[in-house]
Amino acid sequence: MPLTEDQIAEIAELRSVSQPTLRATAPGMEQHLYTAHEVLDHGFVRVIDYMGDDAAIVQAARVSYGAGTRKSRDDSGLIRYLMRHWHSTPFEMCEIKLHVKLPVFVARQWIRHRTANVNEYSARYSILDREFYIPAPEQLAAQSTVNNQGRGEVLTGEEAARVLEFLKADAGRAYDHYEQMLSQEGQQGLARELARMNLPANIYTQWYWKVDLHNLFHFLRLRADAHAQYEIRVYAEAICNIVADWVPAAYAAFEDYRLGGANLSGKALDCVRRMVRGEQVTQETSGMSKGEWREFEALLS
């Protein structure tokens, strides 16, 4: 279970107290505040704070001071224009701060997105919990034979059981030794900053992650993609659900132009034009490499 009874009680207490404010609020996001959305076997995502809404994006683009006589469809149209033409600064007017609990190996992928403010739980000062990510059987896949970064067929039977046993046993043994190094009977234990190096990459860590909406959309475009690694994609999908309630007009534009759209190279666009004119185009006549052509065919299929 990702949360302890004490943590659940603390969240309930936080959500029971409301404060009057003159700042703009997003009703959809207010429903998410402090609530932990469970991810994987021990992880979660929860909103700690946020700033701005769809109106803040429009306000920044128009440099206006109020709603005036504009209609919501006008705001939605402007947001779609901004998204379509890759404008960035109006989306930077919105920010979100998340509390995320995630496996260390997922955190190391996540931190590649360097456009956020991060404060992570420190194993130099505190002792990590005995919590490890153990994949569900349907996520135990072999290495892909066509993609060096991807997965192939799901392991089954004895092979799957063998891998699961390795993951569980190795994680448990590493944590046992971690505990023993920290506290040795009759003598001073090893420093926490040294003992932590023996822990496996599937142990859970936590951090606060604050990012503006423009850079969050960039993160989600890559990590909510169907080709992203499953273990980070499920976090991105949980965040997508939150953002859709926070800035519905902006998220709808993002979903249309980024998640559901595609960028074409000059050669690919030329091929589409030739196809529309009725020409039979092949990889040999496209001017693309085999890899580019394979991706282009997948895009059109």
Distance CA 301, CA 299 (A): 6
Are 231 and 40 a contacting pair, CB within 8 Å?
Answer: yes
Any known ligand binding at 151?
no
215-220: long-range pairs with CB below 8 Å, 24+: 215/92, 215/113, 215/115, 215/116, 216/96, 216/243, 217/91, 217/254, 217/258, 218/113, 218/115, 219/113, 220/254, 220/258, 220/259
Any known ligand binding at 85?
no
Any known ligand binding at 113?
yes
Any known ligand binding at 31?
no
Any known ligand binding at 229?
no
Supply the DSSP symbol for 155.
P
Any known ligand binding at 173?
no
Count CA atoms closer than 13 A to 29's CA, side-chain side.
24
Any known ligand binding at 88?
no
Any known ligand binding at 223?
yes
Among 15, 130, 223, 258, the active-site one is 223
Residue 223 bears catalytic tag: yes
CA dihedral defined by 88, 90, 94, 95, rounded to 10 degrees?
30
Distance CA 21, CA 206 (A): 30
Cα 118 vs. chain centroid, distance in angstroms?
Answer: 14
Structure tokens of 293?
Answer: 């052509």
Any known ligand binding at 214?
yes
Indicate the SS3 state at residue 119: strand
Helix (H), strand (E) at residue 74: helix 72-84
Any known ligand binding at 301?
no
Any known ligand binding at 37?
no
Any known ligand binding at 218?
yes
Any known ligand binding at 120?
yes
Q: Which residues are annotated as a binding site?
A: 89, 109-114, 120-124, 196, 212-214, 218, 223
Q: Which residues are annotated as a binding site for dUMP?
A: 109-112, 120-124, 196, 223
Residues catalogued as catalytic:
223
Q: Which residues are annotated as a binding site for FAD?
A: 89, 112-114, 120, 212-214, 218
